[in-house]
Amino acid sequence: MLDRIWQDVTGTQPPPGQGSVLATALLALALVAVPQAWRLTRHAVTIAHEGAHGVAALLSGRRLAGIRLHSDTSGLTVSKGRRTGPGMAATAFAGYVGPALLGLGAAFLLRERHALAVLWLAVLLLGLLLLQIRNFYGLYVVLVAGLAVLAVSWWGSTMVQSLAAYATAWFLLLAAPRPVLELQGARRRGRARDSDADLLARLTRLPGLVWVGLFLLVTVGCLVVGARWLWTGA
């Protein structure tokens, strides 16, 4: 079993045609743009958002105390350590840019024809995230996502696996800017005073709007670069 997984991760798979790549992009766009779909698919963005907070906390020397995911698509990552300084700032910054960076990484692997590596890495990351979840709904959401990706990785045909990997990359890239725009809309209405941007404003004395702009710059930049990689890799 482990030998097969290792061969899948290190091996290459033929990419789908450009027509199929375009179809996965349109599917991902619909999952982001259609309100009824977004209410469900936004959970995937929250998983990536909170996971990115957790990774940044660990890399910056903080102690991760747990992650919660809620049915309204919100989430909370708790880490312990200094309440100020670069580590706290990096942890706060990572959330909104996390999905875009994951999408960019997936696009790079797909450009290099490693579709199965994208899927197995997703299984690994979801498995590690599961260990940090501290509420029942979060366990449910991450477990369902992990089992779905695992099923495609193990039983899917080569074409299904490639299409799933491309759809995942497109979704992360296209979805990442939307929560940033939603954040600024909430801030404008005075409903997000404890947001990551406002926490960064308190930590750095730069206005929250500057941090929202940086979130948007990173997410849109990843979308532009990642889309190019996905299209030229097909």
Strand partners for 188: none
Q: What share of the chain is helix, strand, coil (3-state, %, to 5)?
A: 75, 5, 20
User: Residues 148-176: pLDDT tens digits?
Assistant: 999 999 999 999 999 999 999 999 999 99
Reported as type and span, the H/E element at residue 186 is helix 177-188
State the Cα angle at 115 between 114 and 117, rounded to 5°.
Answer: 65
Stated length of the chain:
234
Domain boundaries, the chain: 14-232
Q: What is the model's pTM?
A: 0.96
Task: Tell the residue number behind the tokens 């350590």, with chain if given.
Answer: 81
What is the chain's pLDDT, residue by residue, as a tens digit (234 residues)? 788 888 888 889 999 999 999 999 999 999 999 999 999 999 999 999 999 999 999 999 999 999 999 999 999 999 999 889 999 999 999 999 999 999 999 999 999 999 999 999 999 999 999 999 999 999 999 999 999 999 999 999 999 999 999 999 999 999 999 999 999 999 999 888 889 999 999 999 899 999 999 999 999 999 999 999 999 877
